[in-house]
């Protein structure tokens, strides 16, 4: 379960709003970069950034600050929400390196748009589900709809969001504890990870989430920390240390990550070009890839038709759709066994087993290595 510090931006400052109310704002810093420095130094590997101006205005406002943070910390994941309403907004943020875009109001008012975006940017779109009394809130929490939160969550999960960030507005910024029951109820109803948000006060909330996580069929994806960090009732390092203890004594943590090869940097360029190009260019690149793939199979005296027929059974998806996903899967990162071992060691895990794909140049892409970790005793 990820520990994710929040950086809420309003007029260039880091702030916190109690229950989303502008007239109950607390300003913590006029230097968002220094705040990012602090959380990353304490061990954060992902930041939750909210463009509050964007949420109220309906379009991105603090994009330059986000860009500066990502440029300084390219290896730190950023999930960003607030004012993301159009395809251009999403493209612009992906181009500066934002890893995940959070759709809230737009997802509620236009499910067909959410469907389209999830298809175009697989693995990059999250649903920002803000609720008051079980009903979905929109437009910077200024409007409360009649839509049940769990109904919207179920629809979004089916459309392909990678995670759902659930905020209980009544708890947010109050430091009176998470709405654990609502979080659990939602996690039990959907098939994608839930990221809990709103009301974390201290380590007891992290521990409570850990207990819920161990009893769920689908894992919680993480927890977002805001006022508790800024008011110093909780630190990032404390929360991370606590979360690493949530793996049961004999439990395991399993990761599947792209194998680093000599051509990974070239693939990153290709993926950026592909996802930024019009459909006619995408089709050209895709057809060229398939042609070269067929040619390679012929040279190896393998039957391409048999390969295609067996592909869906083995992989669970259509070959041609998979090619499209691979060519356009940007942002894209890869890692070596040495690098992942070092990172996990930092969090108190040791590798007990790995399943590595065959060493390769990576001309037709890179497979995923799989790693099994256990907590150190």
Burial 238-267 (b: 16+ CB within 10 A, else e): bbbbbbbebbeeeeeeebebbbbbebbeeb
Task: Please name the residue that has the structure tokens 């690149």.
Answer: 285
Which among 8, 51, 53, 99 is annotated as catalytic? 8
Token readout for 329 is: 């899967």
112/159 Cα distance (integer angstroms): 9
Instruction: Give the angle 136-233-6 at the CA atoms, nearest 5°.
Output: 45
Is residue 205 flagged as an active site residue?
A: no
Is residue 75 flagged as an active site residue?
A: no
374/377 Cα distance (integer angstroms): 9
66 near 78, Cβ under 8 Å?
Answer: yes
Nearest alpha carbon to residue 183 among 201, 165, 170: 165
Token readout for 156 is: 């979004």
184 near 195, Cβ under 8 Å?
Answer: no
55/61 Cα distance (integer angstroms): 9
- For the chain, the first-to-last Cα distance in angstroms comes to 19
Task: Please name the residue that has the structure tokens 């839930």.
Answer: 194
327 near 274, Cβ under 8 Å?
Answer: yes
Please list the helix, strand and coil fractions of the chain in percent, rounded to the nearest 5, in that order: 45, 25, 30
Counting Cα atoms < 13 Å in the Cβ hemisphere of 102 gives: 26
Burial status of residue 200 (CB atoms within 10 A of its CB: 0-12, 13-18, 19 or more):
buried
Which among 89, 99, 130, 172 is annotated as catalytic? 130
Taking every pair of C-alpha atoms in the chain, what is the biggest distance, in angstroms? 70
Token readout for 19 is: 């229950």
168 near 199, Cβ under 8 Å?
Answer: yes
Catalytic residues: 8, 130
């Amino acid at each position: 379960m990820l520990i994710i510090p929040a950086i809420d931006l309003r007029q260039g400052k880091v702030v916190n709003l109690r229950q989303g109310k502008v007239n109950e704002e607390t300003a913590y810093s006029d230097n968002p970069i220094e705040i990012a420095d602090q959380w990353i130094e304490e061990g954060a590997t992902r930041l939750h950034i909210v463009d509050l101006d964007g949420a109220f205005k309906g379009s991105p406002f603090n994009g330059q600050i986000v860009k500066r943070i990502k440029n300084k910390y390219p290896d730190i994941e950023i999930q960003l929400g607030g004012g993301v309403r159009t395809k251009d907004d999403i493209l612009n943020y992906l181009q500066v390196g934002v890893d995940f875009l959070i759709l809230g109001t737009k997802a509620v008012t236009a499910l067909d748009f959410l469907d389209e975006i999830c298809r175009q940017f697989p693995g990059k779109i999250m649903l920002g589900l803000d609720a008051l009394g079980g009903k979905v809130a929109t437009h910077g929490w200024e409007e409360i709809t009649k839509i049940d939160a769990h109904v919207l969550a179920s629809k979004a999960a089916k459309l392909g969001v990678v995670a759902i960030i659930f905020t209980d507005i009544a708890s947010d910024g109050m430091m009176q504890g998470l709405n654990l029951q609502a979080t659990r109820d939602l996690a039990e109803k959907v098939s994608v990870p839930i990221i809990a948000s709103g009301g974390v006060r201290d380590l007891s909330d992290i521990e409570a989430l850990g207990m819920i996580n161990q009893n769920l069929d689908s894992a919680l994806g993480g927890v977002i920390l805001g006022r508790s960090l800024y008011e110093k009732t909780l630190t990032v390092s404390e929360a991370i240390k606590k979360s690493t203890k949530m793996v049961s004594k004999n439990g395991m943590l399993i990761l599947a990550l792209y194998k680093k090869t000599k051509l990974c940097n070239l693939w990153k360029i290709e993926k950026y070009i592909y996802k930024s190009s019009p459909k006619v260019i995408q089709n050209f690149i895709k057809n060229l890839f398939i042609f070269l793939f067929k040619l390679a199979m012929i040279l190896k005296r393998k039957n391409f038709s048999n390969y295609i027929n067996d592909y869906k059974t083995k992989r669970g998806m259509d070959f041609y759709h998979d090619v499209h996903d691979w060519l356009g899967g940007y942002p894209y990162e890869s890692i070596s066994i040495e690098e992942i071992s070092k990172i996990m060691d930092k969090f108190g895990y040791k590798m007990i087993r790995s399943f590595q794909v065959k060493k390769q140049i990576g001309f037709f892409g890179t497979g995923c290595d799989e790693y099994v970790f256990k907590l150190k005793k």
